Amino acid sequence: MDRQAFLTLTSTSQWILFLGIGLIIYSWTKKKQIFQQLGQGTFFVLALFALWVILGDQITVPEIANRQEPPVEAKALTYFSGLVIAGVIAIVGFVLGLKKSSWAKFPNLFLVGGGLALFFMVYELQRI
């Protein structure tokens, strides 16, 4: 896979991830559930994008020899898998929020914390 295509896929997802994190944090400061739902929707759209990348073979992982460090493409697939998991958690948080459950804040805490971890993970992948 050429470097430009790799950077396009990871940069696009990184900006969408940043938007989702920002919307959820903004919903906490303004106490408006619509921004929380928009942030969760952003994570869901990001999960669909990640599924497209994974299932559509957008990233091809080259063969590696024994005891060699995994290539950047393999690490990127781990990142995109994390985005899919975050999308599932966003759906759970959205449903819990609609039901006015007291558990609704926990998926959002994970989305922000896990989202920041994924954000810096992809940042490191882009630097390699």
- Predicted TM-score (pTM) of the model is 0.87
Q: What's the rounded Cα separation, in Å, for the pair 38 and 74?
A: 30
Among 117, 118, 92, 116, CA closest to 105: 92
**What are 26-72's pLDDT values in tens digits?**
999 999 999 999 999 999 999 999 999 989 888 877 777 777 777 78
- Number of domains composing the chain: 1
- State the pLDDT confidence band at 118, using cuts at 50, 70 and 90: very high
Range of the domain at 61: 3-127
3-state secondary structure of 103: coil
* CATH number, position 65: 1.20.120
**What are 74-109's pLDDT values in tens digits?**
888 889 999 999 999 999 999 999 998 888 889 999
- State the pLDDT confidence band at 15, using cuts at 50, 70 and 90: very high
